[in-house]
C-alpha cells in the first residue's frame, strides 16, 4: 500500500493508493483513530458495482456505517439534492465527530464533499474515487461544490478530506467514455510534468487502455503527486494552482457552447490542450513538434482532436463572459516547454479566435 501525504495550509491527510484498497477503506479509517460513524454517499451506478465491498470493509472494521444512494448524473449536484442529503444526515443523527464517505466519481465527490464541508459547519470526509478523473484530480485538493441553475460549481468550499483511498482496480469496470474523461487529465499532467511522463504515455498508452496495473498505478500516482505539490503551495487557488487549468479555458468555452452535450468535459479538455499547445508555440515559442506529438497521443487515446458541431463564435463568446470589454485579452496557462507552465499569459482576442477556429469549423 502506497501512502502519500497531502499537506495543505488547512489540513494534512493521507492518500492510500493500491490495487484492492477499496476492501480496506474501513480498516484504514479505523487506523485514523477518529471514531464516530460513517455515512457512505454514492450514486446508483457505483452502488451496484462497489458499495457492498466498501460496506463490508466497514463491517470488518467494526465501524457503524449507513449508505445513501443518489441518482447518477450531474443533476445530483443541485441545492435540492443537497437539502435532501442534509435532512438524511439529520435523520441519521450525524454529529460533528462523524464523517461522510464519498464513493464515486467527480459528481459524488463534489456533492458529498460539499455536504461534509457544510453540515454542522464541517464533519469528517473520506474520498473513495471510483473514476480515473476523480482518482487523478477531483478527489484531491479540496475543491467541493454544487451547481446553481445558471452555472456549474458556483456554490462550494475549499474543504480537504481526512483521508483518500484510491484503488486503481476500480477502473477496470469504468465505461470507455469515463476512462477517456480521465485520460485527458492524465495527458494534461504529462504536459505539466515534462518529457519523461509525456514520453511514457506516448510509448505505453496501450498498457493504460488495457488496464495493465503495472503501468496504470504509477501513472495515477504521478498525477496525484503533481497535484499535491501544487495544492500544498496554493490551496485556495490564488496563484500557482492555476497551472492545473492548462487546456481548461478553451475547454470550458467548448463545453458551454456545446450545451454540455456535444462534448464531455474530457473531450473538451482534449481540444483545449491542443489549443493551449498551439498558443504556447505562438506566444512562448514552445517547439511546434510538441503540438503534433500531443495530437497523435490524444488521437491514440480516442480523444477528439478536431472540433465539430460547435460554433467557434459561441466558444469564443462563452470564454469572454467574464471579461470587461470585447478587446480584453484572455488570461491562460501556457507552456514554454513541456514541464514548464506559465500562468497568467495574455492571449489577444484575435489570436484566440484563430486558434479556436483552427480546431475545426462546420
Residue 34 or residue 293: which is nearer to its own copies going by CB?
34
Adjacent-strand bridge partners of 103: 42, 128
Span from 31-39, 101-109, 148-156, 326-334 in contact with its own copies (CB under 8 A): 148-156
Residues 6+ positions from 183 with CB-CB distance below 8 Å: 132, 208, 266, 301, 302, 303
Asked if residue 64 lies in contact with residue 37, where contact means CB atoms within 8 angstroms, the answer is: yes
Q: Does 172 bind its own copies (CB under 8 A)?
A: no
Residue 122 or residue 210: which is nearer to its own copies going by CB?
122
- Residues in contact with its own copies, total (CB under 8 A)? 30
Q: What is the dihedral of CA 70, 76, 77, 82, to 10 degrees?
A: -60
Q: Does 10 bind its own copies (CB under 8 A)?
A: yes
Residues 6+ positions from 250 with CB-CB distance below 8 Å: 268, 271, 272, 275, 276, 315, 319, 355, 356
Residue 237 or residue 336: which is nearer to its own copies going by CB?
237
Q: Does 64 bind its own copies (CB under 8 A)?
A: no
Q: What is the dihedral of CA 254, 255, 260, 264, to 10 degrees?
A: 110
**Alpha-carbon gap, residue 280 to 278, rounded angstroms:** 5
Q: How far is the CB of 332 from its own copies (least distance, A)?
A: 17
- Length in residues, the chain: 362
The correct pick among 26, 124, 145, 168 for binding its own copies (CB under 8 A) is 145
Residue 1 or residue 148: which is nearer to its own copies going by CB?
148
Adjacent-strand bridge partners of 66: 39
The correct pick among 33, 149, 203, 362 for binding its own copies (CB under 8 A) is 149
Adjacent-strand bridge partners of 334: 342
Asked if residue 137 lies in contact with residue 78, where contact means CB atoms within 8 angstroms, the answer is: no
- Stretch 71-130 residues interacting with its own copies (CB under 8 A): 79, 82-83, 86-87, 90-91, 93, 95, 117-122
The correct pick among 30, 32, 67, 157 for binding its own copies (CB under 8 A) is 157
Q: Name the helix (H) or strand (E) containing 337.
A: strand 330-337
Residues 6+ positions from 153 with CB-CB distance below 8 Å: 77, 110, 143, 145, 146, 147
**Alpha-carbon gap, residue 197 to 180, rounded angstroms:** 18
Residue 90 or residue 260: which is nearer to its own copies going by CB?
90
- Stretch 177-236 residues interacting with its own copies (CB under 8 A): 236
Q: How far is the CB of 290 from its own copies (least distance, A)?
A: 32
Residue 27 or residue 153: which is nearer to its own copies going by CB?
153
Residues 6+ positions from 58 with CB-CB distance below 8 Å: 25, 26, 29, 38, 40, 64, 65
Residue 3 or residue 64: which is nearer to its own copies going by CB?
64
Adjacent-strand bridge partners of 124: 99
The correct pick among 1, 5, 75, 148 for binding its own copies (CB under 8 A) is 148
Residue 169 or residue 237: which is nearer to its own copies going by CB?
237
Q: Does 326 bind its own copies (CB under 8 A)?
A: no
Site string for its own copies, 306-325 (x = CB under 8 A): ----------------x---
- Interface residues with its own copies (CB under 8 A)? 10, 79, 82-83, 86-87, 90-91, 93, 95, 117-122, 143, 145, 148-151, 154-158, 236-237, 322
Amino acid at each position: 500500500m502506497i501512502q502519500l501525504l497531502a499537506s495543505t495550509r488547512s489540513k494534512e491527510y493521507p492518500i492510500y493508493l493500491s490495487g484492492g484498497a477499496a476492501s480496506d477503506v474501513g480498516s484504514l479509517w479505523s487506523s485514523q483513530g477518529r471514531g464516530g460513524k460513517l455515512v457512505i454517499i454514492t450514486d446508483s451506478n457505483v452502488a451496484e458495482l462497489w458499495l457492498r465491498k466498501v460496506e463490508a470493509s466497514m463491517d470488518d472494521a467494526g465501524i457503524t456505517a449507513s449508505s445513501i444512494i443518489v441518482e447518477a448524473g450531474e443533476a445530483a449536484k443541485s441545492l435540492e439534492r443537497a437539502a435532501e442529503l442534509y435532512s438524511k444526515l439529520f435523520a441519521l443523527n450525524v454529529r460533528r465527530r462523524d464523517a461522510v464517505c464519498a464513493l464515486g466519481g467527480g459528481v459524488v465527490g463534489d456533492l458529498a464533499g460539499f455536504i461534509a464541508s457544510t453540515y454542522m459547519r464541517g464533519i469528517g470526509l473520506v474520498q473513495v474515487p471510483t473514476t480515473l478523473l476523480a482518482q487523478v484530480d477531483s478527489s484531491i485538493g479540496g475543491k467541493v461544490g454544487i451547481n446553481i441553475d445558471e452555472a456549474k460549481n458556483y456554490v462550494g468550499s475549499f474543504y480537504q478530506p481526512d483521508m483518500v483511498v484510491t484503488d486503481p482496480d476500480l477502473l477496470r469496470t469504468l465505461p470507455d467514455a469515463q476512462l477517456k474523461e480521465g485520460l485527458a487529465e492524465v495527458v494534461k499532467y504529462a504536459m505539466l510534468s515534462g518529457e519523461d511522463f509525456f514520453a511514457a504515455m506516448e510509448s505505453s498508452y496501450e498498457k493504460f487502455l488495457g488496464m495493465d496495473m503495472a503501468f496504470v498505478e504509477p501513472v495515477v500516482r504521478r498525477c496525484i503527486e503533481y497535484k499535491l505539490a501544487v495544492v500544498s503551495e496554493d490551496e485556495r487557488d490564488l496563484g500557482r494552482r492555476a497551472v492545473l487549468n492548462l487546456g481548461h479555458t478553451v475547454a470550458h468555452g467548448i463545453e458551454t457552447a456545446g450545451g454540455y452535450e456535444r462534448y464531455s468535459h474530457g473531450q473538451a479538455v482534449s481540444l483545449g490542450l491542443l489549443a493551449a499547445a498551439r498558443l504556447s508555440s505562438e506566444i512562448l515559442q514552445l517547439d511546434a513538434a510538441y503540438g503534433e506529438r500531443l495530437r497523435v497521443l490524444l488521437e491514440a487515446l480516442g480523444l477528439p482532436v478536431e472540433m465539430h458541431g460547435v460554433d467557434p463564435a459561441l466558444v469564443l463568446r462563452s470564454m469572454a463572459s467574464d471579461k470587461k470589454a470585447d478587446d480584453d485579452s484572455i488570461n491562460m496557462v501556457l507552456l514554454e516547454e513541456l514541464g514548464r507552465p506559465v500562468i497568467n499569459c495574455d492571449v489577444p482576442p484575435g489570436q484566440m479566435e484563430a486558434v479556436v477556429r483552427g480546431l475545426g469549423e462546420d
